[in-house]
Amino acid sequence: MYKRVWWFTVTAVPCVALLLSAQQPPKPAVPPMTPAAGIDFGDEMMVKGRYREAIIAYQRARLASPDPSQKVRAGAGEVKGILRMGGFASAVDEAAGLLESVPGNPQATGVLGDALWAAGHFVEAEISYDKALSLDANDARALHGRGRSLAARRQLPEALKLVTAAVTRDPGEEAYLYTLADVLEQMRRYPEAAIALDRYQAAMPDRKTNNAARWAHAQADLLRRFGTSVPFDIEGADQTFTVPFRIENDKVLVKASINGRPAIDVVVDTGAEHSSLTPDVARASKVDALTVIPTAGIGERETGFRDLQMGRIDRLDVGPLHVKNVACFIKAPALSNLPITETQGFAPLALGLSVTIDYANKVLTMSKQLRAESGGLRLPLRVQRLAMVNGNVNTKLAAFIVDTGGDLGLVVSGRVAAGVNADPALRRIPINVYGTAGRDKNAFVLPFVDIVFGRGVSMSQASVAVLNLDAPSWLLGIDIGGIVGHTFLSKYKVTFDLQRGELALQ
């Protein structure tokens, strides 16, 4: 076995996630009831977090009711319950079944869009939202879905308009309020984002026991602590910033100064929502903890979950780039009894900057608006807290995090690996992989896998690492099928073009 380190952190908490064990409990007993009573029962079970019972009641109501509106109401609840249990593929199947039973129904079409988005099938989801809006321009679910899609491509003013319209039509829907807060935060409108988070938390009937409510409270507190300070305030924001880097231990390293302290090495990390500091560097740089945020990543600590402190860097200097008021993780409490050392991370995408990493010339370029270049492969880029592209694993479509901070070349999730048509006699080679939540004790190498991102960018019959990506998938609300890391990316000139919504590999 050999050691690998993978720092991968996300704080998005769009819903309550029920951690599924390998051994499921017996199917719960749900008494027979009318479709209307079944929907009411499902609603009650959802509030209590008893998702299996809710799903059974909703499904029975959907199949038994002759009323299209009841079918849609039950089907929407069923899909929501399945997603809260991490059943991404099952949610798509049930949503498709709902739409078959009420063809042409805009609400059912929007439900399918939600399931497809959660499964990481972004283009198909957008097609569903557009179709739903063509049938009913005022459908709240489709307005929200289309707005969320635009936000993922950094078209924020248009996204805000659509998501606000969805909230106006259905002010009690948690998902819409979450997305509203996210869009406002991306637009650096922190006071309004904090208010939206308060509304999001208040909409949760089980908020006293709901981890998502705990996250919302902490996140709103963090945003309010910025006060009148301009978050991520870049000096000369319209400039292009060029910084040399070096490669060490499969990491892209640049020099950064924290609050005027002598420059230190930091890892350029596109696989984290925020820049990060170790506790000793935070203390030396006088970066105090402002709140504690639930996060998720690779590792076994609380099955991939870890609470981290959040602070604010007053001034961050990376070469000619000078930024004030930078939100950051503080990796405290520190991991213990592990044969690795946590490092500092620099997340340029969190600044709202497009980024080019020229591995051949070892130059990092950052700008609000990068110059358009021709050639190479351009993939649609979605950023929902983290940057993602689609790829095919043995023809199975999956969403991949693009993570320059991860040293492994290609990773697939356990769920994707389980669906790959691999010879069961193939030897699974165990590996040691450490992430933000510790060691993934079940990590292994799977050989003979084909992964295709586009023409000229693929790997055939490759050996890939298989890791447990359940925790970040549940917290993002998107089925993370894999990660593209340094070893793969370093063969290209890599551009994260936020303005054009593209990942370019040249």
Tell me: do 386 and 488 sit in the same domain. yes
Domain coverage including residue 387: 377-505
Residue 109 sits in a domain whose CATH number is 1.25.40.10
In a domain, 91, yes or no: yes
Q: How far is CA 474 from the centre of its chain?
A: 9
CB 358 within 8 A of CB 489: no
Residue with tokens 């993922």: 152
Q: Is residue 105 part of a domain?
A: yes
Residue 437 maps to a domain: yes
389 shares its domain with 467: yes
- Asked if residue 74 belongs to a domain, the reply is yes
Share of the chain above pLDDT 70, in %: 88
Same domain, 266 and 390: no
For 267-290, the pLDDT digits (tens) are 999 988 999 999 999 999 999 999
Domains in the chain, number: 3
Give the per-residue pLDDT at 422: 66
Is the entire prediction scored with pTM above 0.75? yes
Are 139 and 168 in a shared domain?
Answer: yes
Domain stops at, among 313, 333, 367: 367
- Residue-level pLDDT at 322: 98
323 domain residue, yes or no: yes
By CB neighbour count within 10 A (0-12 exposed, 13-18 middle, 19+ buried), where does 107 fall? buried
The pLDDT confidence band at residue 433, using thresholds 50, 70 and 90, is: confident
- Does residue 314 sit in the same domain as residue 403? no
In a domain? residue 344? yes
Statement to judge: residues 313 and 428 lie in one domain:
no
Pick from 338, 367, 396: which residue ends a domain? 367
Do 47 and 167 belong together in one domain? yes
- 62: nearest Cα among 98, 18, 103: 98
Specify the 3-state DSSP secondary structure of 264: strand
- Give the DSSP letter string of 456-499: TEEEEEEEEEEE--HHHHHHHTS-EEEEE-HHHHTTSEEEEETT
Residue 190 is assigned to a structural domain of this protein: no
CA nearest neighbour of 167 among 140, 200, 131, 189: 140
CA proximity to 413, closest of 396, 427, 429:
396
Instruction: Choose the final residue of a domain: 339, 367, 395.
Output: 367
Asked if residue 439 belongs to a domain, the reply is yes
pLDDT score at 18: 37
Please provide the DSSP assignment of 195-255 as one string: HHHHHHHHT-TTTTT-HHHHHHHHHHHHHHTTTTS-TTEETTTTSEEEEE-EEETTEEEEE
Residues 210 and 85 in one domain: yes
CATH number of the domain bearing residue 361: 2.40.70.10
pLDDT number for residue 25: 56
Lowest mean per-residue pLDDT among 171-180, 207-216, 230-239? 207-216
Q: Residues 503, 389: contact at Cβ < 8 Å?
A: yes
Q: For the chain, what is the mean pLDDT?
A: 89
Condensed to tens digits (0 to 9), the pLDDT of residues 103-153 reads: 999 999 999 999 999 999 999 999 999 999 999 999 999 999 999 999 999
**Are residue 311 and residue 381 in the same domain, yes or no?**
no
Average pLDDT over residues 336-345: 75
Considering only 181-185, 208-212, 426-430, 469-473, which range has the smallest mean pLDDT?
208-212
Looking at the structure, tell me whether residues 112 and 211 fall in a common domain.
yes
Shared-domain flag, residues 65 and 209: yes
Q: Tokens representing 391?
A: 């790829």
pLDDT tens digits, one per residue of 38-59: 999 999 998 888 899 999 999 9
* Same domain, yes or no: 161 and 255: no
